[in-house]
Protein backbone atom coordinates (compact mmCIF):
# COMPACT_ATOMS: atom_id res chain seq x y z
CA UNK A 1 0.00 0.00 0.00
CA UNK A 2 1.43 3.36 -1.05
CA UNK A 3 0.45 7.02 -1.06
CA UNK A 4 -1.15 8.49 -4.14
CA UNK A 5 1.90 10.57 -5.05
CA UNK A 6 3.76 7.29 -5.73
CA UNK A 7 1.21 6.10 -8.31
CA UNK A 8 2.78 5.56 -11.74
CA UNK A 9 -0.35 6.13 -13.84
CA UNK A 10 1.24 4.96 -17.10
CA UNK A 11 2.42 1.63 -15.74
CA UNK A 12 -0.71 1.02 -13.67
CA UNK A 13 -2.95 1.82 -16.63
CA UNK A 14 -1.27 -0.92 -18.65
CA UNK A 15 -1.82 -3.33 -15.77
CA UNK A 16 -5.48 -2.34 -15.61
CA UNK A 17 -5.86 -3.39 -19.23
CA UNK A 18 -4.44 -6.80 -18.31
CA UNK A 19 -7.14 -7.37 -15.71
CA UNK A 20 -5.81 -5.78 -12.52
CA UNK A 21 -7.71 -3.16 -10.58
CA UNK A 22 -6.73 -0.36 -8.24
CA UNK A 23 -8.22 0.30 -4.81
CA UNK A 24 -7.88 3.68 -3.08
CA UNK A 25 -8.43 4.50 0.60
CA UNK A 26 -9.19 7.74 2.43
CA UNK A 27 -8.82 7.98 6.21
CA UNK A 28 -10.15 10.46 8.74
CA UNK A 29 -8.05 12.39 11.27
CA UNK A 30 -8.10 9.39 13.61
CA UNK A 31 -6.65 7.04 11.00
CA UNK A 32 -9.94 5.21 10.41
CA UNK A 33 -11.05 4.19 6.93
CA UNK A 34 -13.63 6.73 5.83
CA UNK A 35 -14.10 6.01 2.10
CA UNK A 36 -12.64 3.73 -0.51
CA UNK A 37 -12.77 3.56 -4.30
CA UNK A 38 -12.03 1.08 -7.06
CA UNK A 39 -10.80 1.77 -10.58
CA UNK A 40 -11.06 -0.96 -13.21
CA UNK A 41 -10.54 -1.18 -16.95
CA UNK A 42 -13.76 -0.57 -18.86
CA UNK A 43 -15.13 -1.42 -22.28
CA UNK A 44 -12.78 -4.13 -23.64
CA UNK A 45 -13.91 -3.30 -27.19
CA UNK A 46 -12.43 0.17 -26.80
CA UNK A 47 -9.10 -1.27 -25.66
CA UNK A 48 -8.96 -3.40 -28.80
CA UNK A 49 -9.03 -0.19 -30.85
CA UNK A 50 -6.34 1.52 -28.78
CA UNK A 51 -8.66 3.58 -26.56
CA UNK A 52 -7.95 3.49 -22.84
CA UNK A 53 -11.06 3.71 -20.71
CA UNK A 54 -11.38 3.15 -16.97
CA UNK A 55 -14.35 3.17 -14.63
CA UNK A 56 -14.40 4.66 -11.14
CA UNK A 57 -16.62 3.49 -8.29
CA UNK A 58 -16.65 5.30 -4.96
CA UNK A 59 -17.75 3.78 -1.66
CA UNK A 60 -18.69 6.41 0.88
CA UNK A 61 -18.72 5.66 4.58
CA UNK A 62 -22.16 5.13 6.06
CA UNK A 63 -23.58 6.93 9.05
CA UNK A 64 -23.89 3.72 11.05
CA UNK A 65 -20.10 3.10 10.83
CA UNK A 66 -20.71 -0.33 9.34
CA UNK A 67 -21.87 0.08 5.75
CA UNK A 68 -20.54 1.85 2.68
CA UNK A 69 -22.70 3.48 0.02
CA UNK A 70 -21.61 2.73 -3.54
CA UNK A 71 -21.59 5.47 -6.16
CA UNK A 72 -20.79 4.81 -9.83
CA UNK A 73 -18.74 7.76 -11.09
CA UNK A 74 -18.79 6.64 -14.72
CA UNK A 75 -16.12 6.04 -17.37
CA UNK A 76 -13.01 8.16 -17.92
CA UNK A 77 -10.67 8.42 -20.87
CA UNK A 78 -7.71 7.23 -18.84
CA UNK A 79 -6.35 6.58 -15.37
CA UNK A 80 -5.03 10.17 -14.84
CA UNK A 81 -8.53 11.58 -15.42
CA UNK A 82 -10.08 9.14 -12.95
CA UNK A 83 -7.42 9.87 -10.31
CA UNK A 84 -7.95 13.62 -10.73
CA UNK A 85 -11.67 13.13 -10.16
CA UNK A 86 -10.86 11.11 -7.06
CA UNK A 87 -8.72 13.97 -5.73
CA UNK A 88 -11.66 16.33 -6.26
CA UNK A 89 -14.00 14.01 -4.35
CA UNK A 90 -11.55 13.57 -1.46
CA UNK A 91 -9.81 16.96 -1.13
CA UNK A 92 -7.27 17.86 1.54
CA UNK A 93 -6.67 14.34 2.80
CA UNK A 94 -4.01 11.66 2.23
CA UNK A 95 -5.05 8.95 -0.19
CA UNK A 96 -3.50 5.49 -0.23
CA UNK A 97 -3.70 2.89 -2.99
CA UNK A 98 -2.83 -0.71 -3.82
CA UNK A 99 -3.25 -2.94 -6.84
CA UNK A 100 -5.79 -5.77 -6.64
CA UNK A 101 -6.73 -4.66 -3.14
CA UNK A 102 -9.36 -6.36 -1.04
CA UNK A 103 -11.49 -4.55 1.48
CA UNK A 104 -11.57 -6.66 4.68
CA UNK A 105 -14.91 -6.75 6.28
CA UNK A 106 -15.88 -4.01 4.65
CA UNK A 107 -16.54 -1.84 7.69
CA UNK A 108 -16.29 1.86 8.30
CA UNK A 109 -13.77 2.75 10.96
CA UNK A 110 -11.10 0.18 10.14
CA UNK A 111 -7.68 1.78 10.62
CA UNK A 112 -4.72 2.03 8.30
CA UNK A 113 -2.74 -0.32 10.56
CA UNK A 114 -5.56 -2.85 10.42
CA UNK A 115 -5.62 -2.66 6.63
CA UNK A 116 -1.90 -3.28 6.57
CA UNK A 117 -2.39 -6.17 8.98
CA UNK A 118 -4.98 -7.63 6.64
CA UNK A 119 -2.50 -7.36 3.80
CA UNK A 120 0.11 -9.26 5.82
CA UNK A 121 -2.36 -12.01 6.73
CA UNK A 122 -3.44 -12.33 3.10
CA UNK A 123 0.20 -12.87 2.12
CA UNK A 124 0.64 -15.40 4.92
CA UNK A 125 -2.51 -17.23 3.81
CA UNK A 126 -1.18 -17.52 0.25
CA UNK A 127 2.16 -18.81 1.55
CA UNK A 128 0.40 -21.38 3.73
CA UNK A 129 -1.75 -22.59 0.84
CA UNK A 130 1.36 -22.92 -1.34
CA UNK A 131 3.20 -24.91 1.33
CA UNK A 132 0.21 -27.21 1.72
CA UNK A 133 0.13 -27.84 -2.02
CA UNK A 134 3.85 -28.61 -2.05
CA UNK A 135 3.40 -31.06 0.84
CA UNK A 136 0.28 -32.59 -0.71
CA UNK A 137 -1.88 -31.59 2.24
CA UNK A 138 -5.62 -31.21 1.65
CA UNK A 139 -7.96 -29.13 3.76
CA UNK A 140 -10.65 -30.50 6.02
CA UNK A 141 -11.37 -34.01 4.73
CA UNK A 142 -11.38 -37.64 5.79
CA UNK A 143 -7.59 -37.55 6.09
CA UNK A 144 -7.93 -34.72 8.61
CA UNK A 145 -10.15 -36.89 10.81
CA UNK A 146 -7.70 -39.80 10.54
CA UNK A 147 -4.80 -37.50 11.43
CA UNK A 148 -6.64 -36.31 14.52
CA UNK A 149 -7.19 -39.89 15.66
CA UNK A 150 -3.51 -40.64 15.10
CA UNK A 151 -2.48 -37.70 17.26
CA UNK A 152 -4.89 -38.68 20.02
CA UNK A 153 -3.55 -42.24 20.01
CA UNK A 154 -0.05 -41.02 20.93
CA UNK A 155 -1.14 -38.16 23.18
CA UNK A 156 -0.23 -35.27 20.86
CA UNK A 157 -2.37 -32.18 20.46
CA UNK A 158 -2.11 -29.06 18.28
CA UNK A 159 -1.81 -25.57 19.75
CA UNK A 160 -3.53 -22.54 18.29
CA UNK A 161 -0.61 -20.63 16.72
CA UNK A 162 0.23 -17.23 18.14
CA UNK A 163 0.69 -14.25 15.83
CA UNK A 164 4.45 -14.63 16.29
CA UNK A 165 4.22 -18.32 15.36
CA UNK A 166 2.44 -17.47 12.12
CA UNK A 167 5.41 -15.51 10.82
CA UNK A 168 7.98 -18.07 11.88
CA UNK A 169 8.72 -21.56 10.54
CA UNK A 170 6.96 -22.98 13.55
CA UNK A 171 5.60 -26.05 11.72
CA UNK A 172 9.07 -27.05 10.54
CA UNK A 173 10.50 -26.42 14.01
CA UNK A 174 7.71 -28.52 15.53
CA UNK A 175 8.44 -31.42 13.19
CA UNK A 176 12.11 -31.40 14.19
CA UNK A 177 11.19 -31.23 17.87
CA UNK A 178 8.84 -34.23 17.59
CA UNK A 179 11.42 -36.27 15.69
CA UNK A 180 14.08 -35.46 18.27
CA UNK A 181 11.62 -36.67 20.92
CA UNK A 182 11.32 -40.01 19.09
CA UNK A 183 7.68 -39.67 18.06
CA UNK A 184 6.52 -42.18 15.37
CA UNK A 185 6.84 -40.95 11.76
CA UNK A 186 3.11 -41.44 11.19
CA UNK A 187 2.31 -39.20 14.16
CA UNK A 188 4.82 -36.56 13.02
CA UNK A 189 3.28 -36.44 9.54
CA UNK A 190 -0.21 -36.22 11.04
CA UNK A 191 0.95 -33.37 13.30
CA UNK A 192 2.41 -31.54 10.29
CA UNK A 193 -0.80 -31.83 8.26
CA UNK A 194 -3.06 -30.80 11.12
CA UNK A 195 -0.78 -27.86 12.02
CA UNK A 196 -0.95 -26.51 8.48
CA UNK A 197 -4.73 -26.90 8.45
CA UNK A 198 -5.06 -25.00 11.72
CA UNK A 199 -2.70 -22.29 10.49
CA UNK A 200 -4.76 -21.86 7.33
CA UNK A 201 -7.96 -21.55 9.35
CA UNK A 202 -6.29 -19.02 11.63
CA UNK A 203 -5.37 -16.67 8.78
CA UNK A 204 -8.55 -17.09 6.77
CA UNK A 205 -11.23 -14.36 6.82
CA UNK A 206 -13.65 -16.51 8.81
CA UNK A 207 -11.36 -18.64 10.89
CA UNK A 208 -12.39 -20.77 13.78
CA UNK A 209 -11.67 -19.04 17.07
CA UNK A 210 -11.64 -22.18 19.17
CA UNK A 211 -8.47 -24.10 19.80
CA UNK A 212 -8.28 -27.64 18.50
CA UNK A 213 -6.03 -28.51 21.43
CA UNK A 214 -2.60 -27.69 22.78
CA UNK A 215 0.59 -29.67 22.51
CA UNK A 216 1.35 -31.32 25.76
150 in Cβ contact with 142 (< 8 Å) = no
- Domain closes at, from 54, 87, 109: 109
86 and 182 part of one domain = no
Encode pLDDT of 148-181 as tens digits.
999 999 998 887 776 656 666 778 888 998 999 9
Asked if the structure places residue 214 within a domain, the reply is: no
- pLDDT computed for residue 104 by the predictor: 47
Indicate the number of domains in the chain: 2
What residues in the chain have per-residue pLDDT under 50? 45-47, 49-51, 64-65, 104-108, 206-216
The pLDDT value given to residue 150: 93
Is 216 within a domain? no
In terms of DSSP bridges, do strands 2-3 and 21-27 run parallel, antiparallel, or are they unpaired?
unpaired
pLDDT for the residue 165: 67
Read off the pLDDT of residues 100-129 as tens digits, 9 standing for 90 and up: 765 544 444 555 555 556 666 677 777 888
Q: Supply the angle between the helices 185-202 and 170-180 in degrees, to the nearest 10.
A: 160
Q: Mark which of 59, 79, 109 sits at the end of a domain.
A: 109
* Shared domain check, 153 and 189: yes
Whether residues 73 and 56 fall in one domain: yes
So what's the pLDDT on residue 178?
93
Give the per-residue pLDDT at 189.
92
Q: List Cβ<8 Å contacts ≥24 apart for 137-141.
A: 137/192, 137/193, 137/196, 137/197, 139/197, 139/200, 140/197
Our measurement of the distance from residue 157's CA atom to the centroid of its chain's CA atoms, rounded to an integer in Å, reads 28
Phi-psi region of 74 (alpha: psi -120 to 50; beta: other; left: phi over 0): left
pLDDT score at 208:
34
210 lies in some domain: no
User: Do 50 and 86 fall into the same domain?
Assistant: yes
Structural domain contains residue 39: yes
Instruction: State the residue range of the domain holding 93.
Output: 2-109
In terms of domains, do 8 and 105 share one? Answer: yes
Question: Is 212 within the bounds of a domain?
Answer: no
Give domain status of residue 153, yes or no. Answer: yes
Based on the fold, state whether residues 59 and 149 are members of the same structural domain. no
pLDDT of residue 71: 81
Amino acid sequence: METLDRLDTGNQERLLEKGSDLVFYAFDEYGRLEHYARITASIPEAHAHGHRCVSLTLHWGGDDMRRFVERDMGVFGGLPDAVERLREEWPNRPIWWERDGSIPGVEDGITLDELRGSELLARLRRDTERNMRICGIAGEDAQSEADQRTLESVGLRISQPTLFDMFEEYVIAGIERLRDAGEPDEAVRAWERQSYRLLLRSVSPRHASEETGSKG
